[in-house]
Amino acid sequence: MKMLKMMKRLCAGILSVALASAICACGSEKKEGGEITRLKMILPGDKPAIYDEIYGKLNEMLREDIGAELEVEYYNYSDLNQKYSLLFSSGEECDIVFAADWLQYNQQASKNSFMEITDDMLKEYAPKTYETLTEIIKNEASVNGKLYMIPNTAKEYSENVVLIRGDLREKYGLGKLNDINDFEKYLTMIAEKESDIIPVVDLALSGLWTRDAVIAIPPSTELAYDIEKDEFVKKDYQDWYINSVKKTRELVDKGVIPADISVNKTTGSMFENGKAATYVKNLETSSSMAKKLRASHPEWKIEMYSFKKDVPKVINSSISNGLSLNRICKNPEKALQTIELLRNDKRYFDLTWYGIEGKHWQAEGDRGYISLNDSLPAEEKYVAGAVWGWKNESMLRRDSSEIPEKQEILDAWEQVTVDSDIYGFTFDDTNVKTEIATVKSTASQYGGPLYNGMVAAGEIDKAFSEYQKKLEQAGIDKIYDEVTRQYKEYREKKDAGK
């Protein structure tokens, strides 16, 4: 009897709690559905120190313009890949998601992670954006004929440039570096003479010695697209790649590249801290690093070089950065309106890209600006982060305090830029999923040590033939045939369209 009473009470208790929470849930939902629509956006990178100031201002404008509020959640780069894929599998609620080819946009889209963005939606809610999306761009961003992303519209290259320490170069009596051989002299000199400075901490550098006009697509397949020949090749069978591996090992033997470079996890900030003699990153990142170091360490006399000015290039795919709508986005209309404002309204673009006018930057005409960030204390600086999602060439301002070499290099690159629609080709990996996974694990086991310069010089040829054998077992030829077949179809369709 007593037990029964207890049970009754327990049930009543549980019920009342459940009811209460249900009522609460209703309450909050009603609030959300009211005047102001709350949107959530996912961006990679770190939250800006003055997020509240910038996005507080943004929200003031958004509330007034379209009756919405935007909240940004940042996914740190260190675990971006894991968190990003969990975002879709866990069904987390958010509306706008950063998307990019380097975040497997195609695969995510074919798994239905995103909401399709139709022409009608664009015309109605983002008309200015719609106008900027040319057929080529739309083609690049479409998966199985459907558009899932609003790509950025800006010219970018993924090519790496090199920063070096001018003071060290002068110390050892070397002239300006004219070519890659001068660069090697510089590196060897540092390896021999400087005991506290490591010449190289980034293996991205090993690609500099080969004249490889290729793009590594489709990702994770060990294939590459040869720009000059207009065809796909198996990377690990090409002389230019084998030679670059040999060069890497030669540099390891010379002491230029540390023997255990792949294991060292603290290489990121070594150049900045004066512990490494080179910095190898893409043009944007390198030139902002150069600018920063010229201000903080003028005595280092930072210099920037591009050693592959004559190698043909292709402008990055427009899907290298962009914004998508989450599949479970509740308010696609408002989300698109927000993207439209971010991309095409100068007030929004300037605020999110450069910060608060007068505090973080000063306008110089319509298309230029002077950054005031350097004079501000660290907690007041505005580091925009992954705002490239709404990068728009026609809105961009040029930084007049930018280092002059950047434009020189860009001009030189433009001379060798090839018109190509290769990025319009999206590879459908459905038929070779197993092979891609197997090739990937083979590449990391047998290809990794080669790339990292861990295989002794005399054994590289042998290691390559073993690696190639393993790749064949893994089914690289099947992937190659599939890619070539699909590419041929793509070409034929294009030519027929003309």
Residues binding other proteins (CB under 8 A): 3, 81-82, 85, 88-89, 104, 107-108, 111-113, 219-220, 258-260, 262-265, 327, 433-438, 440-442, 444-449, 452, 454, 470, 473-475
DSSP string, 442-496: HIIIIIHHHHTT-S-GGGHHHHHHHHHHHHHHHTHHHHHHHHHHHHHHHHHHHHH
| Residue nearer to other proteins on the CB measure, 71 or 260 | 260
Task: Report whether 233 contacts 310 (CB < 8 A).
Answer: no
3-class DSSP state for residue 280? strand
3-class DSSP state for residue 193? helix
For the CB of residue 435, give the shortest distance to other proteins in the complex, in Å: 8
For the CB of residue 449, give the shortest distance to other proteins in the complex, in Å: 5
Q: Tell me, what DSSP letter sits at residue 417?
A: B
For the CB of residue 456, give the shortest distance to other proteins in the complex, in Å: 9
For the CB of residue 296, give the shortest distance to other proteins in the complex, in Å: 26
| Residue nearer to other proteins on the CB measure, 267 or 392 | 267
| Residue nearer to other proteins on the CB measure, 198 or 409 | 198
φ, ψ of residue 164 to 5 degrees: the values are -130, 170
Task: Report whether 57 contacts 351 (CB < 8 A).
Answer: yes
Using alpha carbons, list the distances in angstroms from residue 329 to 122, 123, 184, 325.
Answer: 16, 19, 52, 6
For the CB of residue 445, give the shortest distance to other proteins in the complex, in Å: 4
Q: Report the alpha-carbon distance of residue 114 to residue 105 in Å, rounded.
A: 9
Please, how many CA atoms are within 13 Å of residue 432, restricted to the half-sphere of its CB? 24
| Residue nearer to other proteins on the CB measure, 133 or 198 | 198
- Which tokens belong to 315? 């402008």
Q: Tell me, what DSSP letter sits at residue 315?
A: P
For the CB of residue 492, give the shortest distance to other proteins in the complex, in Å: 28
Sheet containing strand 96-99, edge to edge, reads: 68-75, 37-44, 96-99, 322-325, 149-151
For the CB of residue 163, give the shortest distance to other proteins in the complex, in Å: 23
For the CB of residue 269, give the shortest distance to other proteins in the complex, in Å: 15
| Residue nearer to other proteins on the CB measure, 108 or 286 | 108
| Residue nearer to other proteins on the CB measure, 220 or 392 | 220
| Residue nearer to other proteins on the CB measure, 59 or 442 | 442
| Residue nearer to other proteins on the CB measure, 48 or 218 | 218
Q: Report the alpha-carbon distance of residue 132 to residue 333 in Å, rounded.
A: 19
| Residue nearer to other proteins on the CB measure, 289 or 325 | 325
Q: Report the alpha-carbon distance of residue 53 to residue 45 in Å, rounded.
A: 18
For the CB of residue 421, give the shortest distance to other proteins in the complex, in Å: 25
| Three-state secondary structure of 210-278 | CCCCEECCCCCCCEEEECCCCEEEEHHHCHHHHHHHHHHHHHHHCCCCCCCCCCCCCCCCCCCCCCECE
Regarding beta strands 231-234 and 96-99, do their DSSP bridges make them parallel or antiparallel, or are they unpaired? unpaired
